[in-house]
Chain A
Amino acid sequence: MHRGELVGGSSDGLLPLAHRRDPHLHFVLLRSDAVPAEQALLEAADAVAQRLPNERILLAPPAREIDAWMDASALFLLPAQADPRLADKLKPHAIAAAISVLRARLSSPLFGTTGEDPRRDPIGLRELVRGLSHSIGHVDPHDKMFAPRVTVAGDLVSFDGQAALLLLQSERSLDALETELREAVGDEIHVDVLGEGTRERAARTLVRNAGVHVLVSTLALLAIVLAVEARSIRPVVSMLACALAPALLLVSLLPGIDTLSIPILAISFGIAVARTFICEHQPPAWSSELLLATALLPLAFTEYPAWAHLAWCWALAWLFGSMVVRVMWSDRSLSRASKPWFGRSRVSLVPMRWLAITMTIIVLVAAAWASTHLRYAGPSVTPFHETLAEAEQTLARSFFNQDTLAEARSVATTEEEALDLAAEDARLIAALVPTQVALLDAPGSFVLPSSQVGSRHQALLELRLADAMEVVRSNLVSQGLRVDAFAEFLASTADLSHPPTASAALQGPLAAWIDRYIDRGQTSVSVRSYLHLRHDAAVPDVRGADQAALPLRGPIVFALEDRERFPTWLATLIVLGFSVAGTCAWAHARNLATALATAMGGFVAQAALWLVLDLAGRSIGPHLLPIFLLTGTIAAVLGMRACLASTQVEALAPGAWLVAGLALLAPGGASIVAIEPLWRELGLAWLLGASLATGAGLFIAPGLCAAMRSWSSARAG
């Protein structure tokens, strides 16, 4: 997003910058309704390649280049543990049996349709390589039934031939790129551009349309609540203006309104109106203002950039709002203009000790139980879009899930060294397939690390490949097969003078493909490897010979790491909130029981929110952190005022608190009917959180306060 734009499109604001995807990298999904579609798709892919030659990136090494490279290098790339099986295949009787089986198969009328290519491997040596295919990038058309196939041009085609996938790296605007692609492929091919850029555009559209609806609906609901209470236009307008002041400052401080901002802005409207309304009926307490201003401050210490930024903006906006309310509240004419239906009566609160204690114990025990099985929702957000989700599902079903993509970098001073290091790293990562890594796409997997060249060469020498090829030759002749047809296989298998080293790879048929994985810096060169991590596994701990961990990057990496530490983060934030609430309440009331009861009120509300969300089957993740913190703060603010009311320090205006409660619920009501799932999720959480906070603040906090006071009195007595 560009600085200065009001509407932002960031859909991964919760991801640290290092883990974010490149918005200029676009997957181009081509689909056709025609049956068969493959030829048309291949032609369309070719048209795209011709139209955008400098922007197209090979997704996989072209099939012929793979074959050429593997034909010459397969035996070198076999791991040492495969050597016994290789030796078995090279024994004279095994060779004779393999050639006679080949001859038998050739007599079948359907042999040509089996995909066997005996010319390149008459004795089945490549079967040993196929066992490794999971660790060699996208080169896996044989062993997985639904695996995509690599085209001759280096793109991918789905197993059923109904979709093709290309990769582009383009600085053009998405609209211009789409227009270009549609012109290239024609009307009969359906084109979808997928990636971070597309998500950003969808998010921007969503915020412009549905986001504005949520904010306007929230304001409308708040206006209705205030109008019903005040029955006069002037106080309604004044209070809304008071509420909008901090929200407008918040908007100006945020880098832009994105999908995450919309529900937070709506909630800020609700809290601001509730606060302003309370201030009209009860003198504002500086401690309440401080609590609200610091409500999100703990987020400043988290790793979520959007929340860290929001924490400071919220604090500044709220302090500004407090000043506005002070000025407005000092204008008594506003209060006089309002004619509340509940009158201006004040009551003292009667605390319910045993109810509070019982509820606290039940909620905390149940929340402790719920915390043992967290349903975690990651920080990546896919904005709602009519066709985007369907296209992304097709991409995941037919090719791979772009959200599981992680990146590892092997850094060295030269290209050869970096590729050599990448080859070492690729072998370490390949050992994690399939338990932790679903698929590895790494140029290094085609390269033999320099540290292994000598040992591999010696191992192959001991297999006496040249002698074995002579046996193959004689068996071919005896079975009536033409030796010349297999000449390339015989020559390349016996030739051990060209190991597949990094320098050979950089000059060989795979060089063009490998080039896209290389980043050249001023002083260093890095080679990227891509891993598709499994959602159900931890982040792999890949360590080289020097025991240094290989750094992994990508949304999935952050999500998996965050899943592990999220409960700790949440607990830390709650403890911070607990401390702030207790300190503010103590500073205001100068009473330990009030301070502890206030903090406990917030804590119980947060625990209850966790419990209810768990019982409702909702996932909990970083997107809900502000809701948890605000729930605790609202409960603490209400709890402090209720504690004071219960001890006759100040009276409570019950009608005002009821209206304030409705104002708190309004943003949740507006968000819960939005089309964006994230907003619905946050809206629901806020509805629950605000309700629970009100209950905890008004009933549990004063009850606990009274219990502690009586216990203290009993001890003193």
Chain B
Amino acid sequence: MTSRRAFLMGIAGVLFPSSAAADVLEDAAVRAEDVQRLRNRVELWQGFASRSQNLLARYVSIRHSSLLAEPLVSTGTLMFVAPDRLVFHDDTPSGSTTELIESGLRIVPNGGGPAIALDHDRAAAARWLAHKLRCLLGAGTVDELLTDAKAAVPRGSALRLELLPMRGSPTRRTIRSLLVRFEPLGGAVVELELAEARGDRVHMTFSDHRQNLAADQLDTVRARMGSVINGHTL
């Protein structure tokens, strides 16, 4: 007689042939409806991401931190250019521009001042988060998204997915979880919530997604960003 768990694992295996996805589902799939929900969520997103050559979106970022008297609210523009360039550019000079490339990340204050340049080889948590953000907001695949992470499906009707660093990994000491909410129709990421181990939370909402813009439009946006962060080329 086939057990219920084995039956669910079989379904997961059929739905997600990749081993990474199957591993993740093994952890998450306790109920059949969970499997179905996870499948729907990732599939929707996968359809959106697979079409991304470039992407522009507006964001509102709110950092909750014990360092701050009040939550720090920033607005800005997200830009993704295939294959791996992802930029978060705050609108104001008091904000910053965060640029993710394949080998590392750079945080440049818009108003001037020393940038933080980090090589991924040295910072496991930065590498993990940059990878997940690039997958989610760029052109990632299911395998890439679920690599080196544990996925969970939060309860509720919203299309949400929670990604957690693997237990025992150095990343876990910095990042607790990354909660993602997908747009119900198109599959685009509309909300991110990053929970840091030291207690900070970063909540980002995305809107006005514009996918696959013409090169000249992208150049205009890039030039506008570059003019704000003088001395740094995007």
Query: Could you say which residues of chain B place their CB within 8 Å of the CB of A101?
Result: 109, 111, 113-114
- Which residue of chain A has its CB nearest to the CB of B166? A36
CB distance from B31 to the nearest CB of A (A): 29
Asked whether A107 and B61 contact (CB < 8 A) given A112-B202, A114-B126, the answer is yes
A36 to B149, CA, bound (A): 12
A238 interface residue (CB < 8 Å to B): no
Identify B107's interface contact among A103, A108, A159, A480, CB under 8 A: A108
A331 at interface, CB cutoff 8 A:
no
Interface pick from A115-123, A261-269, A371-379, A669-677: A115-123
Assess the B125–A113 pair: CB atoms within 8 A: yes
B interface secondary structure, majority: mixed
- Other 12 A-B pairs with CB < 8 A, given A108-B96, A482-B67: A101-B113, A106-B67, A107-B74, A109-B129, A109-B192, A109-B194, A112-B125, A113-B123, A480-B68, A480-B69, A481-B68, A481-B69
The answer on a CB contact under 8 Å between A481 and B67 is yes
Give every chain B residue within 8 A of A480 (Cβ-Cβ): 68-70, 72
Whether, in the assembled complex, B162 has its beta carbon less than 8 Å from a beta carbon of chain A, the answer is no
Q: Which of A105, A145, A481, A482 contacts B122 (CB 8 A)?
A: A145
Q: Roughly how many angstroms separate A112 CA and B174 CA in the complex, as a whole number?
A: 7
Q: Let me know if B198 is at the binding interface, CB within 8 A.
A: yes
Complex Cα spacing A112 to B66, Å: 13
CB-contact partner of B169 in A38, A98, A103, A106, under 8 A: A38
For chain A, residues 28 to 54, give those with C-beta under 8 angstroms from any C-beta of chain B.
36, 38-40
A485 at the interface (CB under 8 A from B): yes
A302 CB-CB contact with B under 8 Å: no
**B84 CB–A CB distance under 8 Å:** no
Residue pair A106, B168 in contact (C-beta under 8 Å): no
A-B pairs with beta carbons under 8 A, tally:
119
Q: Which residue of B lies closest to A39 (CB)?
A: B168
Least CB separation from B195: chain A residue: A112
Please determine whether B96 and A107 come into contact, CB atoms closer than 8 angstroms. yes
- Whether B67 contacts A110 by the Cβ 8 Å rule is no
Does A368 touch B at the CB level, under 8 Å? no
Task: Tell me if A169 is interfacial: C-beta within 8 Å of chain B.
Answer: no
Give the complex CA separation of A599 and B231 in angstroms: 77
**B: which residues have CB within 8 A of A?**
61, 63, 65-70, 72, 74, 88, 90, 94-96, 98, 100, 105, 107, 109-114, 116, 118-119, 121-126, 128-130, 133, 166-170, 172, 174-175, 192, 194, 196, 198, 200, 202, 204
Provide the bound-state CA to CA distance between A72 and B119, in Å: 30
A104: Cβ under 8 A from any B Cβ: yes
> Do A108 and B200 touch (CB < 8 A)?
no
Given A480-B70, A480-B72, A485-B67, the answer on whether A114 and B118 have CB atoms closer than 8 Å is yes
A112 to B198, CA, bound (A): 9
The answer for the CA separation of A110 and B204 in the assembled complex, in Å, is 12
> Smallest CB–CB gap between A426 and chain B, Å?
27
In the assembled complex, the Cα of A159 lies from the Cα of B169 at a distance in Å of 13
Q: How far is the CA of A506 from the CA of B104 in the complex (A)?
A: 42
Query: Would B123 and A106 count as touching, CB distance under 8 A?
Result: no
Answer yes or no: A97 CB below 8 A from chain B CBs: yes
A111 CB within 8 Å of chain B: yes
Tell me the smallest distance from the CB of A347 to a CB of chain B, in Å: 74
Given A113-B123, A113-B174, also A107-B168 (CB < 8 A): no
Cβ B119 vs Cβ A145 within 8 A? yes
The answer to whether A106 touches B94, judged by C-beta atoms less than 8 angstroms apart, is: no
Which A-B residue pairs are the 5 nearest by beta carbons?
Answer: A39-B168, A104-B109, A101-B113, A113-B126, A112-B196
Separation of A101 and B108 alpha carbons in the complex (Å)? 9
Residues of the A chain whose Cβ atoms lie less than 8 Å from the Cβ of B166: 36
A161 at the interface (CB under 8 A from B): yes
Known contacts: A112-B175, A114-B116. The answer to whether A107 contacts B90 by CB under 8 A is yes
A100 in the interface, Cβ–Cβ < 8 Å?
A: yes
- Near B by CB (< 8 A), chain A positions 145-167 give 145, 159, 161
Given A112-B202, A145-B119, A480-B68; A104-B98 close (CB under 8 Å): no
Could you write out 18 A-B pairs with CB less than 8 Å apart? Answer: A40-B168, A98-B113, A105-B107, A105-B109, A107-B61, A107-B74, A110-B98, A110-B100, A110-B105, A110-B126, A112-B125, A112-B174, A114-B107, A114-B118, A118-B67, A159-B122, A480-B69, A481-B67
A contact residues around B65 at 8 Å (CB) = 106
Q: Which residues of A contact B123 (CB under 8 A)?
A: 113-115
A107-B95, A109-B98, A110-B130 known; A482+B116 contact, CB < 8 A: no
Closest Cβ neighbor of B95 among chain A residues: A107
Complex Cα distance A214/B100, Å?
Answer: 62
- The minimal Cβ–Cβ distance linking A412 to chain B, given in whole angstroms, is 41
In the complex the two chains form, is A107's CB within 8 Å of B116's CB? Answer: no
A98 CA to B109 CA in the complex, in Å? 11
Docked complex Cα distance between A648 and B118 (Å)? 85
Contact A482 B68 (CB under 8 A): yes
Per-residue interface assignment for chain A, residues 167 to 184, with 1 indicating a CB less than 8 Å from any chain B CB and 0 otherwise: 000000000000000000
Shortest Cβ distance from B73 into A: residue: A107
Which of B96, B126, B194 has the most chain A CB atoms inside 10 A of its CB? B96
Which residue among A100, A105, A107, A116 has the maximum number of chain B CB atoms within 10 Å of its CB?
A107
